[in-house]
Structure 1
Amino acid sequence: MRVAQLLLSSLLCVALFGQAKLESDELQSNVGQASPIPQDGDASREASVEAQKLEYIVGLYEKEASDPVPKGREIKMVSSTGQEFSCVLPTGEAEEEEAEEDLKTMVKRKLLTAFKDQCLVSKNSGYWSYEVCLYKGVTQFHGEQSEDQRVSFSLGNYRKDLDDYPQLDEEDAERPSESAESRKIREALAVETPESVIYAQRYAGGTSGRRTLVQFVCVQQRSRFDGAPGTVIEVKEPREFHYTITVASPHACVSEYSSKSKVPVPKLLTPLKQQCIYMNQGWWNYEFCYNEHVRQFHMETVNTAVSDKETKTKKTTSQTVTTVDFFLGRKTSNSTIRIHKGETPSTSYASQEYYDGTTCDLTNLPRKVEVRYVCDADTTKSRIMSIQETSTCEYILVIATPLICVNETFQPVQPKLLQISCHPSMGSLEKGDKGADDDDDQD
C-alpha cells in the first residue's frame, strides 16, 4: 500500500489549479517546493502550500472515508498513476469557535506556566541586588547569592488575593469582601502606569513590614531574554520599605491572547482614563486628556522681586505661569470612536472628534480637533505623536498607543488553514493495488 510523492503533489496541483492530470515537469512549475509531510502511520501523507492567504493541507487516505464527509464541494480527481479520488474542497466559511477561556484566567495561566519555578535576579541596582521568585517571594540582598554569604531582607511573600489586571479591567474592580488590611496593601502599592501593565502581583509581610509590587510589561523581542521568560528591567523604592519591580516579558503582551482581538477599541483605551498626556512643540505645549479635552497653552518663567523688611534687601523668586491657553476641543455626546480601515493594518486608525473648543478669532467658530489613535507596538506608553492644524482652528492630533494593537483591525492578516480531504473512489483502491503489483512483477 503506497502513496507516491508524485501522486500527492499531483493531487495538490489539481486541487489548487483545477487540472485533472499533470506530468512531472508540469508539477515542478506549478507546485514549486510543495512536498509531503509524513504523519503517524503509513495511511496518510500531507503537503501544504500558501496561495492567496489561504493555506491548504491535502490529506490522502488509502481507505474509503469512514468519518462523516466534511462540508464543502465534492470533486473527482485522477492522479498521474490513474487512481481516482473523491476530494472535498473546503468552503472557507468560519466554523463556530469554541467558548474562549476567561481572559484573566488565560493571562495568569500562561504567565504561571512560563515563570514556574523561575527566580529572576537583578544585579544592576546599585549596592543592592534583587531576587524575584515569582508566585513565592522577593528578596533584597548584598554579597554572594548563596544565603550564608550575604546580607538579605525579605521584601514580601506572594499574596494571591491582591492580583490586578490593569489593562483588562474597564474600571477599578469593586471588592466588597476585601479586608481592610488587603485594601491598605493594594492602595499602598498602586500601579502607576496601568496602560502598560497587563498583570501585577503584590508581595507583603517582608522584613520590618516591607512590601513589593511586581508588574509585568510587554516587550516582544524574545531575543533579549537569552531563553528566559522575562527579565527585571527596573527596581524602585518610591517610599521607605515599599518597592516596585518591573518585569519585561513577551508573555505580558496582550497580542499573545487571541480573545483581545474582538475587544472594542473604546474598551482597550480605558486605561487612558483619568490621566493626561503632554507634548511640547516649539512655543506651544499640548495636553490631551482622554474623554475630556485637548488643550493648547504656552508657559513662561516669571521673576518677581520681593523685599525683605528685616534685612532691607530684595530677593528674586521664579515661578512658571501659563500666559496663553486655548481649548482645542472637548468631549461631547458626538465624540464616538470610529474605526478607519486602511489598505493595511499599519494605515488603519481609530478616530474621535472633540468639539466646542475656545472660539477662534478668525472664524468666530469654536475650535475642534480630530484625535486619531494609531497602533505603536514598540512602546509601553501612549504618547502624542503629532499635532497639525489642517485648516483655520481645526486640528488633527495623533496618539500613538500600544493599547489598540491587539484589536483585529491592527493585526496582520494570518493565512487560513483549509483542509482538502481525498479518499479513493469505490473500486479505485483495488485497481491501484493491481497496477502496483504488475510493476513489481516487471521489476
Structure 2
Amino acid sequence: MDKFTVVSVLCSALIANAQQDVKGFDDTVLFDIFWPGNNVDEELGKNEEIIVTSAHQEKYRCILPSIQEKESQADEKYDGPTALDLISPLFTQSTCSYRFETYWTYEVCHGRFIRQYHEDREGKKVKLQEYKLGQWEEKTYDRILEKVKAEEQDKSHQIPLKKIDNINLPYLEVSMENGTLCDLNYNKPRSTKVLYVCYVHGKNEVYSLKETSTCQYEIIILSPFLCSHPKYKPKETGENKINCMPLEGAPDKPYSLMKMKIDSLKLRRNSDFDRIKVEIIDIKDSIKPPAKKPNLDPSPVKSFLTGKNCLNGGTGWWKYEFCYGKSVEQYHVDKDFKKTAIKLGRFNKETHLDWIKTHPQKRPKPKGERKQLSHFYSDGDVCDKTGKPRQTEVKLKCLENTSPSAVSLYLLEPRYCEYILGVESPLICDILAAADENGLVEDNMVDILDGGETVSETTVNIRL
C-alpha cells in the first residue's frame, strides 16, 4: 500500500543519513508520519527534506527530523561520583539479590560472590547442591574504579549499551571470576559478568540471568543508584515527527492511506456487529442434553513410554533431552545451528536391574505411596576428568495440580560426570501405578495404558 511505500522511502533516507555517522544510528529511535496539509512551521523548512511519490502519482515533500541535534543537547557536564562509587553501597552493606526458578535459586551477593544452589529436605536432613558462579577478589574494586575513572575522563569513550525490552540502556560491568571449576569447560572456573543498569523504580533485583557460553554467565541488575549519573540514564525514546506536505494538487493524505482507514473502520464495525449477533441466544436452543464425553487420545502416553516422544528442557546454555528407555543427552545449538552434544547415559535393562540390586533404596515404594521412580542410564560419553563413561540417575516425579503439558527438567552433578536428571510432569503420575517392583513399565502395561483403562483424563490430554 502507498503508506508503506512512503515509509520505506523515508526509512531508506534516514538510514542513508545515519550511515554518515554509524554511531548516531539507533534502531530504538521511533518515527511517526504526520500529514499536516500546508499548515507547517516554517522553521521546519531548515531541516533536510525529500520528495516522495505514491503509486497514484501523488507527490509529497517530507521533512526529516534532526536526531543528532537532540542527542547533542542531551550531553551534560558531570563532576560527581563515578558509576562504581554510586553503586558501592551495595558492596559495603553486603546486599544480596535473589532469583528463584523452578529448581535452582540464584544468590547475587554484591561485592562478595554469586551462588547457584538447591536444597533437598528429607525430614531433618538437608542435602545441598551448589556452585559458585563467581567471586569477588580483594583488588577487584580498585581495579574497576581505576578503569571507570579513565573511561569517564576520556570524552571519546562510549558507554556500552544493552538492549532491554527494545530500549538501549547504558550499563556498568563488574566481572566476578574464580567460581567452581567446570569439567565441561576444560576444568576452567565459572565466571559471571554482572551488568548494572539504571532503573528508577528498581530495588537492585535480578532482571535476567543466562548462561552465555559453557559455565560463563551474564546477570542484569536493575539499580536506582546509577540514575543520578546522567550518562547512565535511559535515552529518551519519544516519537520523532516526519511531516509530509502535498505538492502539485495532491490531497492532504494519499488516496490509498485514506481507503485503508475506511476499510479498516468497516471491518471493525462488521466485527462488532458479528460479536453482538453471537451473544444473542435463544433460551430454547440453550437447553440441550449434555454431550457425550469425547474419546480421549492416549497416544502421547504410549509415545513417551516407547521413546518416540522425547522431553526437552533447560533454560541456560545447555539444554537436555530425555528419551524414556533410550538415552539422556546434554546439548547446545549455536547461531549457525551447529549442535554440540554429550551423551550422559544410555538405558540398558540388565544394567538397571543390577543397579537396583546394588542400591535397594532406589526401588519404588509400594503402589499408592509412590511419588517418583528412579532409572539408571549408563555407558555415556567418556569423561575427561575420570576416564570413565558418564552415567545418570533419572528421577521421574509426578507433578500434580498444574497444566497437563507442564514439564520440568533439571540436572545435578553430585560427583564428576555422575548426574541426576530430575523429570517432573503430570505425564508421570499414571505411570507410577503401572511400574513393577524395579520401576519398569512392561510392554503389556504400555498396551493397557494405551487402551485408556487406567489413564486419567488429565494425563491423556498431555501434548509433548
Fold agreement, TM-score > 0.5 = no
TM-score w.r.t. the length of structure 2 is 0.30
TM-score w.r.t. the length of structure 1 is 0.31
Q: Return the structure number with greater relative CO, CA threshold 8 A, min gap 6.
A: 1
**Structure number having the greater helix percentage:** 2
**Structure number having the greater strand percentage:** 1
